[in-house]
Amino acid sequence: MSQRRVVITGMGVVTPVGSDINTFWENITKGVSGIVPITQFDAAAFDCRIAGEVQNFDPALYFKEKKEARRADRFVQLAMGAATHAMNDAGFPNEVPDPERFGCIVGSGIGGLKTTEDQHTIYMEKGPSRLSPFMIPMLIVNMASGMISMKYGIQGPNYAPVSACATSAHSIGEAWRLIRSGDADVFLAGGSESAIVPLGIGGFAAMKALSTRNDEPTRASRPWDRDRDGFVMGEGAGIVVLEELEHAKARGAKIYAEVVGYGMTADAFHMSAPLPNHEQAQRSMRIAMDRAGINPSDVDYINAHGTSTPMGDVCEVRAVKAVLGPLAKSIPVSSTKSMTGHLLGAAGAVETVVCIKTIQTGIIPPTINLENPGEECDLDFVPHVAREKKVRIALNNSFGFGGHNVTLAIRSFEG
């Protein structure tokens, strides 16, 4: 494989703690929670009645025509918002040069769940003749990637990975590989999710996966805490612009960081539970580090998957200890899901942005709500308050139902 270097030249987020990079980062570093009582539907009958909702989002701002926004599921709308921010940030506000060398990989764990639910209700109440002709285009997972390409005229590789909570990390990793191998020079990559609907909340609650700390929303997502009782659903989108280094230099692009490693494995074990010692997550981390040419002593920070589930949190701690050995307890590890909630298919990309901003600013975001660490949860989780530290290399872990494991290695750019 060619050793073309791949850098990040643009970032965009739409999240429960901010829908632009500056607001997002300010709230993340201040430990602000975006978890609120659900407002998108009446959740009174549900075991879980809290979520991380995106506030004050106007989808019409991100489409060429308002009717396009109306014909898009919310997960596509959020993706268009994040993509627009990322493209503006990278210096591609309207269209792209050499569109056949520009790609787009934007996935979702679930896709248009609201459209599915709404259209099923119409079918049951009014019959098949009343179904929308836009139903299928609205709900299919690849439509975020497709609509983004249409807005900007992107004609290079274009598809949508689906690997649950590892989706957008896979998107970024695959874009990295395609640029390195010469299939394209620039990619938009990331993911989007909007599953705060009755079926989404009800389904995850039926699995006993969600927190029921309904009376204390901002304290509900508590990775590694003794009293954690499940994750909190979030919605949002994260998209970055990846670019071949010389291409970025030639157009005078600002360079935020460099993607230097990508590991992906499968547990082949259980539909929703990780391997007890997270052996394949270990291997994912090792592959990313090997490809990056780094050792445990080179790792300055880990943005963990850290969802606030009793089993998952412990298994990730075991994996980190196995990979980093005696250094594990001295390397800061935090979970920004304590503030955003779990953005499912968008989580990996949003947390990649966290890693990039950490490298840029020298500020490691905290894990909030970590009051009493649980059994085996004895790493440096940066509790409560952000920390200043020079970070050159960060790892980002993303793990998904189905046994999907992804690790990305991000390094400060060194010309």
- Do 189 and 274 share a structural domain? no
Question: Residue 385 has what pLDDT?
Answer: 98
- Answer yes or no: 120 catalytic: no
Helix (H) / strand (E) containing 67: helix 66-70
Asked if residue 90 is part of any domain, the answer here is yes
pLDDT in tens, 157-179: 999 999 999 999 999 999 999 99
Average pLDDT estimate for 385-407: 97
- The CA dihedral of 62, 67, 70, 76, to the nearest 10 degrees, is -40
Asked if residue 1 is part of any domain, the answer here is no
Question: 386 vs 93, which has greater pLDDT?
Answer: 386
- Do 306 and 346 share a structural domain? yes
Position 162, amino acid: V
- Do 159 and 69 share a structural domain? yes
Average pLDDT estimate for 386-404: 97
Sign of CA dihedral 376, 305, 209, 165: negative
DSSP states of 283-303: HHHHHHHHHHT--GGG--EEE
Question: Which of the following is catalytic: 48, 165, 315, 377?
Answer: 165
Give the burial class of 360: count Cβ atoms within 10 A of its Cβ; 0-12 exposed, 13-18 middle, 19 or more buried.
middle
pLDDT in tens, 40-92: 999 999 999 999 999 999 999 999 899 999 999 999 999 999 999 999 999 99
Q: Which residues pair with 159 in a beta bridge?
A: 105
DSSP states of 94-136: S--SSGGGEEEEEE-SS--HHHHHHHHHHHHHH-GGGS-TTHH
Asked if residue 2 is part of any domain, the answer here is no
Asked if residue 36 is part of any domain, the answer here is yes
Domain's final residue, options 221, 250, 279: 250
- Do 318 and 280 share a structural domain? yes
Domain's final residue, options 226, 250, 274: 250
Asked if residue 12 is part of any domain, the answer here is yes
The proportion of the chain whose per-residue pLDDT surpasses 90, expressed as a percent, equals 97
pLDDT in tens, 81-131: 999 999 999 999 888 989 999 999 999 999 999 999 999 999 999 999 999
- Do 390 and 320 share a structural domain? yes
- Do 297 and 235 share a structural domain? no
User: How many domains does the structure of the chain reveal?
Assistant: 2
| Residue 256 pLDDT greater than 50, yes or no | yes
Domain span at residue 69?
7-250
pLDDT in tens, 177-235: 999 999 999 999 999 999 999 999 999 999 999 999 999 999 999 999 999 999 999 99
- Do 117 and 210 share a structural domain? yes
Mean pLDDT for the chain overall: 97
Residues 6+ apart with CB under 8 A from 412: 257, 258, 359, 391, 392, 393
Asked if residue 256 is part of any domain, the answer here is no
| CATH code of the domain in which 398 resides | 3.40.47.10
DSSP state for residue 191 in the 8-state scheme:
E
| Residue 3 pLDDT greater than 90, yes or no | no
- Do 322 and 245 share a structural domain? no
pLDDT category of residue 1 using cuts at 50, 70 and 90: very low
- Do 273 and 144 share a structural domain? no
Asked if residue 259 is part of any domain, the answer here is no
pLDDT category of residue 415 using cuts at 50, 70 and 90: confident
- Do 341 and 204 share a structural domain? no
Asked if residue 292 is part of any domain, the answer here is yes
- Do 101 and 178 share a structural domain? yes
Question: Which of the following is catalytic: 85, 170, 278, 305?
Answer: 305
- Answer yes or no: 270 catalytic: no
Question: Which of the following is catalytic: 342, 355, 377, 404?
Answer: 342
Question: Residue 2 has what pLDDT?
Answer: 52
Sign of CA dihedral 362, 340, 169, 289: positive
Domain's final residue, options 218, 250, 282: 250
Count the neighbouring beta carbons within 10 Å of the beta carbon of residue 3.
5
- Answer yes or no: 305 catalytic: yes
Alpha carbons 402 and 311: distance in angstroms, whole number: 15
- Do 172 and 42 share a structural domain? yes
Long-range contacts of 270-277 (CB under 8 A, 24+ apart): 270/403, 271/401, 271/402, 272/207, 272/209, 272/401, 273/311, 274/311, 274/312, 274/315, 274/316, 274/399, 274/403, 275/315, 275/403, 276/315, 276/318, 277/315, 277/318, 277/319, 277/322
